[in-house]
């Protein structure tokens, strides 16, 4: 078992890493206006976002279909922000090279997807991309344990993958805490992202549990000016001394 008791006074530091991990905000483009996607990318950048979160759905692993490598490539030159690409697809290994070439900086695959997860994560690394692992609310956190030393990012889903606008499921909080325990002991630079029903209240709960990245769609894109909201969320983080 790789999980350790959580130190509630932790600032996400260790002897190996004296710098706190900054809390990041990653607007989910699933909630953007796709008729003006390029402008939406520029809007989140000017609002102070850290990453661009891109949800890829294949209509098989999840019922919906969203975007593919061509769309990602078309907006890649509009910003230097990292592209955090969440692959909700049945057989991710088949498409890793295409998404890497399109300009992804991070590729996150589901532990529930088909194929050899370890092999897929290693291939992502070999492509020069940061690998990530994610799990749905109903999947026990122990399922990702064998892969934690292979990834730079863990994405905790607090809604079922495949649809935007769902309500936050608090079962994700204990998963975040468990992963935080591992990170504090073994890999302080591991990013712990959370996606699903994130707003100013649930986001704060997630950061308090140990998350370092907040991915959110509707709660940000519904705002005419999301800059103040992003700044508020960043103030929850361990880098902010109260």
Residues 85 and 130: beta-carbon distance below 8 Å: no
CB-neighbour burial class of residue 201 (10 A; exposed 0-12, middle 13-18, buried 19+): exposed
Helix, strand or coil for residue 141? Answer: helix
- d(CA 181, CA 187) in angstroms, rounded, equals 10
Catalytically annotated residues = 55, 195
Q: In sequence order, what DSSP letters do the residues of 33-97 get, joined into one string?
A: -GGGHHHHHHHHHHTT-S-EEEEEEBSSSSS-B---HHHHHHHHTT--S-EEEEEE-S-GGGGHH
Calculate helix-pair angle for 200-209, 171-186, nearest 10 degrees: 40
HSE, side-chain direction, 13 A CA sphere, residue 235: 9
Q: In angstroms, what is the C-alpha Rg of the chain?
A: 17
Residues 216 and 183: beta-carbon distance below 8 Å: no
Residues 37 and 29: beta-carbon distance below 8 Å: yes
- d(CA 107, CA 56) in angstroms, rounded, equals 10
């Amino acid at each position: 078992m790789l999980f350790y008791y959580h130190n509630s006074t932790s600032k996400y530091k260790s002897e190996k890493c004296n710098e706190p991990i900054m809390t990041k905000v990653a607007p989910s483009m699933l909630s953007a206006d796709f008729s003006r996607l390029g402008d939406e990318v520029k809007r989140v950048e000017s609002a102070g976002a850290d990453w661009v979160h891109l949800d890829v759905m294949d209509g098989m692993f999840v019922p919906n279909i969203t975007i593919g490598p061509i769309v990602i490539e078309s907006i890649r030159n509009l910003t230097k922000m990292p592209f955090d690409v969440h692959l909700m697809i049945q057989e991710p290994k088949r498409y890793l090279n295409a998404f890497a070439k399109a300009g992804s900086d991070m590729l996150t695959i589901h532990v529930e997807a088909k194929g050899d997860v370890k092999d897929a994560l290693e291939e992502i690394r070999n492509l020069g991309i940061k690998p990530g692992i994610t799990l749905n609310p109903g999947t026990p956190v122990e399922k990702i344990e064998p892969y934690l030393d292979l990834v730079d990012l863990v994405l905790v889903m607090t809604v079922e993958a495949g649809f935007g606008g769902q309500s936050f499921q608090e079962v994700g909080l204990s998963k975040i805490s468990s992963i935080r325990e591992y990170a504090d002991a073994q890999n302080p630079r591991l990013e712990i992202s959370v996606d699903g029903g994130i707003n100013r209240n649930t986001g704060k709960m997630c950061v308090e549990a140990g998350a370092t990245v907040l991915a959110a769609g509707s709660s940000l894109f519904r705002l005419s000016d999301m800059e103040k909201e992003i700044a508020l969320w960043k103030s929850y983080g361990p880098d902010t001394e109260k």
